Amino acid sequence: MATVGKEAERAELHKTIWRIANDLRGSVDGWDFKTYVLGTFFYRFISENLTAYVNSGERKAGNPDFDYTTLSDEQAEYGRRATVEEKGFYILEGRQYRCRSSCGGSVVLVDEATELVAAANLTDCAASPHH
């Protein structure tokens, strides 16, 4: 019985993701849209990854309230060289991916899709004997 529920949940997730994709895509070619969305996901990932990395390092160094997202680009520039040497990339805080606070409605739909996919992946990972 659990398999039927999981399949129904997966089918609903699939339908929701396609609805969101079609709403976002509009008249744009599917391939162009896929390229844009995957690029956006990657940009979001590296922005969040860098923020978590910098925040973690600062907190371990004794700055418990440090938040990279509150720095100006001038302040953020201070750690560029060391971060590039350690991580291989760097994005000034002011050029990082932004979602709900400063982007239009279509990006919120991308966030909605991302959250649905992440939730499905967490469910699958929890049920998988390999994780």
Provide the residue-wise pLDDT of the chain in tens; the chain has 131 residues. 567 788 888 888 888 888 887 777 777 777 777 787 788 888 888 888 999 999 999 999 999 999 998 988 889 888 889 999 999 888 887 777 765 444 444 444 555 656 655 555 444 444 434 33
Furthest CA-CA distance within the chain: 57
Query: What is the residue range of 77's domain?
Result: 2-127
pLDDT of residue 130: 39
DSSP H/E element including 75: helix 73-76
> What's the pTM?
0.57
pLDDT of residue 124: 41
What span, in angstroms and rounded, lies between the C-alpha atoms of 94 and 80?
13
DSSP 69: G
Spell out the residues 6+ positions from residue 71 whose beta carbon is closer than 8 angstroms to its own: 93
- Considering its fold, how many domains does the chain have in total? 1
Residue pair 33/24 in contact by the 8 Å Cβ criterion: yes
pLDDT of residue 35: 80
